[in-house]
Amino acid sequence: MKALVCGNAPCLTNELKGKELHEYFTVRMNGHTEPPCLPCDAWSSWPDPTHRLKHNRHEPMYDVSEYAKNCEELWLVHPGVIPLAVNKFKRIPDFILSKQGVVELTKEVGSPPNMGMLMIKACMEQERFDEIFVAGFDFYESPNDYYFVEGKFDHPAHNQADNKRWFLEQVGKGIIEPL
């Protein structure tokens, strides 16, 4: 089975244009908004509503209630917050990324991996996927309103250069393939 991990970058719409998406198991994360009609077979989000305040961030969290209700599978890629996820999403996750997988990925990336890298790792851990495709990743090189403050990327937990390096290494090894 082919997995398609979709990031939230503005390039997603163009990268999906003209593609037959029914042949992929589509994986989305956080508050995906573009394109709105994109199928979502599996979805994951950070479940801690206090996370932003802990980092002195005040922009609103994604409203994720509809995604959790309407996706086929709910994945959790932050295994340390299972009770929070069950409480917030009102359902048991269908897949939980292993703690060992998170530890390995953090070492490979060199800093805490972002959600997109965690979702790719989640696909890598599941034997049902023999190919992993990606679309909609630009590592916040084009500004959006989620992690940008005053036009500049500002997220204390993630080093996008580390994430991009790991991502490109996986492409180079043929482990993931841009759509």
Residues 99-114: tens digit of each pLDDT: 999 999 999 999 989 8
The percent of residues above 70 in pLDDT, for the chain, comes to: 74
Strands 42-44 and 25-29: parallel
Mean pLDDT for the stretch of residues 19-28: 91
Query: Which fold, 2-178?
Result: sialyltransferase cstii, chain A (3.90.1480)
Element (H, E) at 142: none
The percent of residues above 90 in pLDDT, for the chain, comes to: 41
The answer, yes or no, to whether residue 169 has pLDDT greater than 60, is: yes
Strands 148-149 and 152-153: antiparallel
> Can you give the pLDDT at residue 147?
52
The DSSP line for 42-62 is EEE----TTHHHHTT--SPPP
All structural domains of the chain with their residue ranges: 2-178
In 104-159 the beta strands, taken as DSSP E runs, fall at 131-135, 148-149, 152-153
Report the chain's mean pLDDT, rounded to a whole number.
Answer: 82
- Asked if residues 109 and 121 have their Cβ atoms less than 8 Å apart, the reply is no
Residue 53 CA: distances (Å) to CA of 59, 61, 89, 97: 9, 10, 20, 25
Q: How confident is the model at residue 40 (pLDDT cuts 50, 70, 90)?
A: confident
Kindly report the three-state secondary structure assignment for every residue of 70-87.
Answer: HCCEEEECCHHHHHHHHH
> Can you give the pLDDT at residue 156?
60
The answer, yes or no, to whether residue 56 has pLDDT greater than 70, is: no
- Asked if residues 40 and 28 have their Cβ atoms less than 8 Å apart, the reply is yes
